[in-house]
Structure 1
Amino acid sequence: MALLQKPSGEALAAVRGPAGSRAGGPRRSGARRRSRARVNAQVVLALVIIAAFLALALFAPLIAPYAPDAADAGQKYLPFGSSGHVFGTDEQGRDILSRLIWGGRTSMVVALIAVAASTLVGATLALVAGFSGDRVAGLIMRTIDVMFAFPVIIAALAFAIILGPGLTVVVLAIVFVATPYVTRVVFAEVKRHRGREYVEAAVSLGAGFWSILFREVLPNVAGQIVVYATGLVGAMIVFSSSISALGIGVQPPEADWGRMISEGAKVIISGNVTVALLPGLVVLVVALAFNWLGDGLNDVFDPHKRRSRS
């Protein structure tokens, strides 16, 4: 029976430690601080990378040492580190560094514009579907399911046939790809907020359908929309590069990272690796930076993660 006795206050204090703290508390708080510092450093690094590439793209005419389409047949395939061409030259003697700088103008800007359009369309459809009746919501979401199932390459080829290859095809293809994902994510968030007290209060006060959507619900889901769209930019930069690599996106001689990868891939076997490797690394770094930024923003906007790290 002595084993069932209630432990004394001294025994509890000995287990909990000073000031009633639990064992392992300092260790957990130290781990949280390290985790928070890691996330902050990741966000700062992502912002630095994105800002640097955007600045290079914006000031390309001032920064690039050569014009992007300036060819010199006598300087084909100069190796990395060559005098006057730090990153070497391609199959037409064009400076790879200059083309990388100018290529950011198409690859990054097109992806940003297309993702912004996709976010606007997808979020609007999700808001309407989340607060409409079953018929309207079913029509919208079944259309989104069809877009999910439709082969992306076929859609891009259809746009190219109708409009001709070019930047417009890349933008439309990205919008076609990204809109269903944005709609699905935002629709799930809107459904979670549909029964909240602030929505019921707005309804009881006589607020209209559109007023509830854009004045009440949208501000509460905007954080998740921004987080998802930010991470989506990185994926769409990769996707836009693949569209251009197929030859139905940006057309030569305009500089584009995807086009550079496609042209460089043809000569990799001959040993000219840097022609395709360098634009591939640039796409990888920029895409990772946007994904890191999205992860960091998720920690900022998600209250549960904020509390767990505090």
Structure 2
Amino acid sequence: MVLTATPVTRSPNPLKGTAPRRRRSRLRVNAQVTLALLVIAGFVLVGLLAPVLAPYDPDLADGGVKYLGVGAPGHLLGTDELGRDILSRLIWGGRTSLVVALAASLSSTVAGSVLALVAGFSGDRAAGLIMRTVDVMFAFPVIIIALVLAVILGPGTPVVVLSIVFSAVPYVARVVFAEVKLQRGREYVEAARSLGAGFFSILFREVLPNVLAQIVVYGTGLVGGMIVFSSSLSALGIGVQPPTADWGRMISEGAKVIISGNVYPALLPGLVVLVVALAFNWLGDGLRDVFDPRRRRAGR
């Protein structure tokens, strides 16, 4: 009888390759966040330095140099239908567009988070009243709200900000409310109650720090969409009013002359809005991966 040796098979190590994957994931997330921050910081810095960087007055019209193309002498990005320098209007328009989007996003994030925190720790009746009110806000078309506010207040920046806040608060409240409900039954909440902590003390000193990461992530990602939305309202004529430079207004004015073959007055501000909105979305996605330990453990 011939004895044959049975080959020994080794079970694969489930941890093998996990560390490199985690490192690659962290590097990818860090690179994404860094790139997004660089893009956002660059646009913010350009907006702050607009008086220094803009080669011309953004509202200065010159009928003799209308519709100049990109690379024209003295006008790097050309001119619009009134002969205004497009580069100068892009630089100054960043001030208006970014301030409006950031102010509206911050206001809606704070308001929605406070509503969700109070509702999450209130009794069933109070929580139901708050969240049903939030649900009713979902039912109103945002454009209708903007038009009504424009009739009451007149077109302008306040209409854009209030419209964005009204439309974004329900989404923020729903996201934060779900997270607060998860935290409500945790041990640290029961410990704070047993030590005699009051309602607002538990809410803002114990629960808020544990949901703050989700609020920051969602609020950051919200800015990108709000830039697009505020630009849309300005393009419809119920947002920032002329002659103030604004990216949405530039797109609207440029769209009127596309049929003549001059696409740059609409294309260039549209590309700027796209890049800035994507940068804020990238930042929100990157922060979500950084703050979510389950994603880090999974090596995603």
The 1-side partners of 2:128 and 2:102 are apart by 30
AA in 1 matched with 2:261: G
Q: CA deviation at 1:156?
A: 0.4
Q: CA deviation at 1:38?
A: 1.8
Q: Residue in 2 aligned with 1:77?
A: 67
SS of the aligned residue for 1:269 comes to helix
Q: CA deviation at 1:35?
A: 2.7
AA in 1 matched with 2:106: A
Q: Residue in 1 aligned with 2:165?
A: 175
Q: CA deviation at 1:306?
A: 2.2
Q: RMSD across aligned C-alpha pairs, in angstroms?
A: 1.5
Structure 2 residue 2 is matched with structure 1 residue 11: no
Q: Which sections of structure 1, spanning at least 5 residues, go unmatched? A: 1-7
SS of the aligned residue for 2:8 comes to helix
AA in 2 matched with 1:103: G
**1:102-144 C-alpha deviation (Å, 9 max, x unpaired):** 0011101111111111111110000000011111111111111
**1:172-228 C-alpha deviation (Å, 9 max, x unpaired):** 011111111110110000001010000011111111111110000000000000000
Question: How many pairs are equivalent?
Answer: 295
Structure 2 residue 211 is matched with structure 1 residue 214: no
Q: TM-score, normalised by structure 1?
A: 0.92
Q: Residue in 2 aligned with 1:156?
A: 146
Identity of aligned residues (%): 74
SS of the aligned residue for 1:206 comes to coil
Which one of the candidate residues 288, 292, 308 is aligned to 2:282? 292
AA in 2 matched with 1:198: Y
Q: TM-score, normalised by structure 2?
A: 0.95
Q: Residue in 2 aligned with 1:309?
A: 299
Q: Which sections of structure 2, spanning at least 5 residues, go unmatched? A: 1-5
Q: Residue in 2 aligned with 1:283?
A: 273
Q: CA deviation at 1:11?
A: 3.3
Q: Residue in 1 aligned with 2:53?
A: 63
The 1-side partners of 2:144 and 2:87 are apart by 33
The 2-side partners of 1:190 and 1:128 are apart by 9
The 2-side partners of 1:65 and 1:46 are apart by 27
Structure 2 residue 35 is matched with structure 1 residue 45: yes
The 2-side partners of 1:29 and 1:11 are apart by 27
Which one of the candidate residues 253, 265, 268 is aligned to 2:255? 265
Which one of the candidate residues 125, 134, 138 is aligned to 1:144? 134
The list of structure 1 runs, each at least 4 consecutive aligned residues, that deviate by more than 6 angstroms after superposition, is none
Which one of the candidate residues 90, 101, 105 is aligned to 1:115? 105
The 1-side partners of 2:203 and 2:23 are apart by 38
- 2:66 touches 2:81 (CA, 8 Å); kept in 1? yes
SS of the aligned residue for 1:85 comes to coil
AA in 2 matched with 1:271: G
Q: Residue in 2 aligned with 1:255?
A: 245
Q: CA deviation at 1:42?
A: 1.1
SS of the aligned residue for 2:11 comes to helix
AA in 1 matched with 2:67: Y
Q: CA deviation at 1:266?
A: 0.7
The 1-side partners of 2:275 and 2:44 are apart by 13
Q: Residue in 2 aligned with 1:166?
A: 156
AA in 2 matched with 1:210: F
Structure 2 residue 186 is matched with structure 1 residue 189: no
The 2-side partners of 1:221 and 1:214 are apart by 10
Q: CA deviation at 1:56?
A: 0.6
AA in 2 matched with 1:15: S
The 2-side partners of 1:277 and 1:154 are apart by 27
Q: Residue in 2 aligned with 1:226?
A: 216
